[in-house]
Structure 1
Amino acid sequence: MSIQLRKQKVTLYIFLMTLVIFSNYAVYTFPVLESIPKSAVLGSLFDFLVVCPLLTYFFILRKRYSLKYMVPVIFAGYVVAKLVIPHHYLAPYSFIPYLFIAGELAFVALELFILYKLIVKLPTIIRTFSSMKSEWPYVSVRLQAAVGKHVGVNPLIHALTSEVTMFYYAFLSWRARPSQSCYPTFTFHKKTSVIAMNIMIIHAILIETIGFHYLLSEWNHIVSWVLLILNIYTVLFFIGEIQAIRKCPFIISDKKMIMQVGLTKCLILPIEKIKNMDYYEESSKLSKQEEKMLFDATVSDLFKQPPQFEITLKEPVTAYYLFGKRKQVNKVWVTVDEPESFLQVLKPKG
């Protein structure tokens, strides 16, 4: 998606969210009605618990993030509802927080069941995981392959292994050396500001966490602790992202090129599938269909630069994204720290 189109979507999202919130706020603030009917309160709850989360899904989460993020989004909608709707109107609906708790417990129970299946087969998974080290140097790819072989493949398995990978890079990767390989490897972050940008985001989240936790604890302890846990999880994700970017350079073997971009995306590209590879030439904007079939193997940057290379494939290849999302791609954009060496190694193979 182009930057301009993304800005338009964000602008429209902000406008619609503001419209929903302000219209509901007006109902309870301005003396238009002598008494607020019960249907108006139900309508407001529907707006905050259904309409706003759906807007967030279609404008922000869809095709980019896991559905599990809908839980905090709906919870945030309930928090806004409590701020907008006077307390005495919400009193008959005091059971709503318990529905969130029940839903979350059901999800946790399902994850625990899957975790139980993993623990039962853990010795076999560990042996397979260790035996795949030479074939799959990256922890995330190797873990997905080992677990998938013995437990099966489904979205929850992918979500669970993605979280395990995140915690590995956040806590256990500091003394580990970058993925070792007898094949050429290429880093892709040293000439960008992606590490600095992620550190800035962590810094901002920590400052926001301290301030908001103090303010919200004066109003509602449960909300303040929920947001604190979510912010801690977000900080761990960005720490894991930094480590995954540092520890996982692109690898080009005789038969495949492995490109893991942080925690968020990965492409295992068979060399035989490469149709053409050359320097990127900025041309007309990609169509929506072309964007859907594109794997952008570049990192986010404060000053976004065009990719260095464009690789066209003979046929679509599956790319993997965070929490098990996948899509078919037929074009790859790549940026590396040593572009000339990268071109010399890959182009003869293609």
Structure 2
Amino acid sequence: MNYYLLHELFTIKAQSHLLLYSKIKEKKGWVVMVQIVKTHPKSFYGGVLFIAALLLSNFFIQKMEVTGQVPPILVLATVLDVMIILPVVLFLFVLRRKATLSLLAPLWLLGAGFVHWIVPAYAKEHLQYMNVSIILVEAGFILLELFLLVIFIKNLKTWRNNFKASKHTIPHLLSRISIANQQTFGGYPKLERLIGVIATDVSAIRYVFFPHLDDKLAGEHTFSYHKNSEYFGVFLMFVHAMLIEIIAVHVMLMQYSHTIAWIATLLDFYALVFLIADYQAIRKSPVVIQNNHLHFQKGLRFHMTVPLEKVADVRRYEGEALPGERDSFTLMLAGLEKVPPQFEIRLSEAVEGYRVFGFKRKVMKIFLTVDEPERFLQTLIEARPVSKKDI
């Protein structure tokens, strides 16, 4: 689960349980948790019970003061429980997946807010080291981004030339940025990876504050997938809820820690910008069949380019529920009701796609729904002939 997913969970559930279920189930974290409940029930429930016991015990000791006045050693123990032991148990026994910074950062932020809430006012002076640590971590990230920005500026001319050169062969913004990064920083894989992380932030800012730089793709070989969906209504609900949440969370956290409150507000604002940019990217990035390639970009969440010769099979999807396969990519938008995709595309070999912040993923199957399914199918058949018995 990422920070954006946690926001959906806590702010939207009172408005529409069905909407929340449809939205969250698309997320990888939810799919992972559904699989965990089915395949590892003992470790899952054991981990959940341990985390609940850990939080409750610290709540009673700190907030309720059931053991009397809280000494400094218990404050330190609470910080260790919430900031270290809880994440370890969560990832090893509940989620059963590798911890990543994109997951740990919001988890630590929530943990810091919880600690500030339960620790008595007279003992908060013992939390100064934690506040300083948070500020140092934030400063470290800012310095890292400044360092990468300096490197990027030094190579800006080369990068810009590579970016412009790919315009005629790569229609989508994120894919063009990835190609330019590879061509410019390909000799330094770690640097390319870090630049890829910043590319998502830059794309979000570009889509929201400079929308005129990217025209909406159109033509007989482009196929939108958002017009006939219910996602616009979902999008408006999320924006409305997040605007309310930004104010409410800031006011609530300000009572306990100004530092935590402003950090949470900045993250909330970033999540809002990301949400708006994601919808802008959805509008401006239809499915494109061009130059013997099939191009996909699902908002800011995922993008990939598939050579048509690697398309082994194209068929109409006949199942009722979408299978949660790890090597698949789903180009569908959440709505009030859960609906199956229109088509299933199987590849002859795995093709690499890119998730948020440049994380890579191998794809063998593509499930998608477009606004003009018959025209899409006919165009794809003409671009790469397939057997009619597979349709």
Could you state the TM-score of these two structures normalised by the residue count of structure 2? 0.79
1:42 to 70, 76, 95: 76
**76-85 or 150-159: bigger deviation:** 150-159
For residues 253-292 of structure 1, the aligned pairs below 5 Å read 253-282=290-319, 286=323, 291-292=325-326
Letter of the 2:359 counterpart = K
**Matched-pair identity in %:** 29
Q: Give secondary structure in 1 for the equivalent of 2:168.
A: coil
Q: Give secondary structure in 2 for the equivalent of 1:282.
A: coil
Give 1:92's aligned residue. Answer: 126
Give 2:16's aligned residue. Answer: none
The CA RMSD over aligned residues, in Å, is 3.0
Equivalent-residue separation in structure 1 for 2:375 and 2:320 (angstroms): 25
Post-superposition offset of 1:347: 2.7
2:260 to 205, 219, 223: 223
1:305 to 334, 339, 345: 339
**CA shift in 2, pair 1:276/1:137, >3 Å:** same
Equivalent-residue separation in structure 2 for 1:29 and 1:228 (angstroms): 25
- Superposed CA offset, 1:55-87 (max 9, x none): 666767968x96245223212211111211224
- Superposed CA offset, 1:233-270 (max 9, x none): 11100110110000000001241100101100012111
Q: Does 1:138 align with 2:172?
A: yes
Give 1:157's aligned residue. Answer: 195
Give 1:166's aligned residue. Answer: 204
**CA shift in 2, pair 1:127/1:244, >3 Å:** same
Equivalent-residue separation in structure 1 for 2:276 and 2:69 (angstroms): 51
Give 2:286's aligned residue. Answer: 249
Q: Does 1:336 align with 2:374?
A: no
List gaps (5 residues or longer) in structure 2. Answer: 1-24, 38-43, 387-391
Q: Does 1:72 align with 2:109?
A: no
**CA shift in 2, pair 1:250/1:66, >3 Å:** farther
Letter of the 1:340 counterpart = E
Question: Contact 1:252/1:346 (CA < 8 Å) preserved in 2?
Answer: yes
Q: Count residues with an aligned counterpart.
A: 345
Q: Give secondary structure in 2 for the equivalent of 1:43.
A: helix
Equivalent-residue separation in structure 1 for 2:251 and 2:60 (angstroms): 29
Question: Contact 1:308/1:333 (CA < 8 Å) preserved in 2?
Answer: yes
- Superposed CA offset, 1:77-118 (max 9, x none): 111112112244443342111111112212221221111111
Q: Give secondary structure in 2 for the equivalent of 1:196.
A: helix
**CA shift in 2, pair 1:115/1:296, >3 Å:** same
Give 1:147's aligned residue. Answer: 181
Equivalent-residue separation in structure 2 for 1:6 and 1:87 (angstroms): 37
Q: Give secondary structure in 2 for the equivalent of 1:95.
A: helix
Q: Give secondary structure in 2 for the equivalent of 1:232.
A: helix
Give 2:14's aligned residue. Answer: none
Q: Does 1:320 align with 2:354?
A: yes
Equivalent-residue separation in structure 1 for 2:322 and 2:360 (angstroms): 23
List gaps (5 residues or longer) in structure 1. Answer: none
2:277 to 240, 244, 255: 240
- Superposed CA offset, 1:278-298 (max 9, x none): 100217884x7xx11111121
Equivalent-residue separation in structure 1 for 2:321 and 2:336 (angstroms): 23
Give 1:21's aligned residue. Answer: 55
Equivalent-residue separation in structure 1 for 2:100 and 2:334 (angstroms): 19
1:108 to 142, 145, 157: 142
Give 2:244's aligned residue. Answer: 207
Equivalent-residue separation in structure 2 for 1:221 and 1:113 (angstroms): 28
Letter of the 2:176 counterpart = R
Question: Contact 2:116/2:257 (CA < 8 Å) preserved in 1?
Answer: no
Post-superposition offset of 1:341: 0.7
